[in-house]
Amino acid sequence: MAEKKFRVGIVGCGGIAENKHLPALSKLKNVEIVAFCDIIRERAEKAAAQYGTGDARVFEDYLELAALPDLDVIHVLTPNKSHAPITIAALEAGKHVMCEKPMAKTAAEAKAMVEAAKRTGKKLTIGYQSRHRSDSRLLKQMVEEGRLGEIYYAKAHAIRRRAVPTWGVFLNEEEQGGGPLIDIGTHALDLTLWEMNNYEPRSVMGTTYRKLADRENAANAFGPWDPKEFTVEDSAFGFITMKNGATIMLEASWALNTLDVDEAKTTLCGTEAGADMKDGLRINGELHSRTYVMKPDLDAGGVAFFDGEAQKPQDLEAYRFYKAIEDDTDPVVLPEQAYVVTQLLEAIYESAKTGQPVFFD
C-alpha cells in the first residue's frame, strides 16, 4: 500500500518560506508541494521551480489556490496583516493550515481563526518552532514531571543589541502590527507560557519605546535602517500577572544598549527548582542544604529521523504537524494557545498607549 502523499500549497514565497518552511518540507517524503502563491509572481515561480512538483501551479490570488480541490494543507507565510483572512479562507476551503507566527495582527483576528478551525474541523497550528528545540523539549518534560514545582515567576527573553530587520515589511506598522514585540517577543512569550502550561492572564502593564529608530547610519547587523520607514517600536516590555498569581516579565528589542542579549529564551523560577537558557539549559536548585547548577547534555539520546541529519527545530515542526494530521491528533501548538499569546501582545501595546493596565475577565 502506497504511503499517503500530502498535497501542499504555499501562500507567501518570501524569506520565511525560502529559509524555513520550504527546506523543511522538502525533507518530508510524504509531502508534495503542488501550488505556490505570491503577490509578486516571480517569487512564486522561483519557489515552484526549486521546490515544486513538475506540474506545480503558480497563483497571485490566494483564493484561487485555496479553491484547488485536491489540496490537503496550506502554509500561510505572509505579513502579519493577512494571516487571518488567508488562514480562514483556507480552513473554510477544507484545508489544514500551518500559519507562521504571530497568529494574527490583532486578538480579534486570532479569535476568528480559532473559531474557523473549530467550525471546519480542520487542523490549525502556528509556527512557533522554538518549542521544538532540544532544550525546550527537555525543560517541558522536567516541568511536566514536577521537577520545578510550582512556577510562580518567569521571564521571556527576546533581546537583540543591534539587529533590526531591514528587509520586507518588518518596519511597517500597518503590515505587521508592531516591531520586536510582535516579531520576536512572540516567540519568547509562547515558549514561556507553554513551559508553564499557564494560559489564564489576569492583567498586563506594558511600555514601548522608539529611542534609537531615528538614527541615521546606525550600527546594525543587517545594515543601516531608513528612519522614515521605521514606523514601529524598537523595544517593548511587559509585566504580566496570571490568575493563579504567577508573574511573567517580557522583554523584546531589536536595538537596545545592552550586552545582556538573548532571543527566544525563557527563565523559570519554581518552588522546587529553577531553569534558564542563558548558557545552554541550566537547572538550579537546592540539594542536601547546598545549592547546585546542573547542565544537561542536550545531545545525548537524540536520534535523527532524517537520514544523516540532526533534528532542526523547523524540520521537527513540519514533521510533527504532518504526523498530527496523519494520526488525527492535536498539533504541538494549539490555536487556542497562540490566541492567548496574541491577546497578551495586544494588551502590552494597548497599555503602552494608554499608560494604564489592561485587565482580563
Residue 357 preceded by cis peptide, ω within 30: no
What does the pLDDT read at residue 195?
Answer: 98
Q: What average pLDDT does this structure show over 96-105?
A: 98
Confidence of residue 51 (pLDDT cuts 50, 70, 90): very high
Confidence of residue 36 (pLDDT cuts 50, 70, 90): very high
Judged on CB neighbours under 10 Å (0-12, 13-18, 19+), 359 is exposed
Whether pLDDT at 1 is above 90? no
Which residues have CB under 8 Å from 264's CB, separation 6+? 130, 157, 158, 184, 187, 188, 191
What does the pLDDT read at residue 189?
Answer: 98
Please give the Cα distance from 285 to 149 (Å, whole number): 11
Question: Percent of the chain having pLDDT more than 70?
Answer: 96
Q: What's the pLDDT tens digit per position in 137-179?
A: 999 999 999 999 999 999 999 999 999 999 999 999 999 999 9
What does the pLDDT read at residue 304?
Answer: 44
CB 162 within 8 A of CB 255: yes
Instruction: Outline where 69-201 has alpha helix (H).
Output: 83-92, 107-120, 134-144, 173-176, 180, 186-196
Please give the Cα distance from 111 to 103 (Å, whole number): 10
Please give the Cα distance from 175 to 48 (Å, whole number): 25
Q: What structural domains does the chain harbor? A: 6-130+311-333 (3.40.50.720), 132-300+341-359 (3.30.360.10)
Provide the whole-model pTM: 0.95
CB 74 within 8 A of CB 100: no
Please give the Cα distance from 6 to 47 (Å, whole number): 18
CB atoms within 10 A of CB 356: 10
Confidence of residue 300 (pLDDT cuts 50, 70, 90): low
Average per-residue pLDDT for the chain: 95
Whether pLDDT at 305 is above 60? no
Sheet architecture: strand order including 31-37: 57-59, 31-37, 6-11, 73-76, 96-100, 124-127
Confidence of residue 2 (pLDDT cuts 50, 70, 90): low
What does the pLDDT read at residue 145?
Answer: 98
Q: What's the pLDDT tens digit per position in 235-287?
A: 999 999 999 999 999 999 999 999 999 999 999 999 999 999 998 999 999 99
Whether pLDDT at 306 is above 60? no
Q: What's the pLDDT tens digit per position in 176-187?
A: 999 999 999 999
Please give the Cα distance from 97 to 86 (Å, whole number): 10
217's grid cell: 547610519
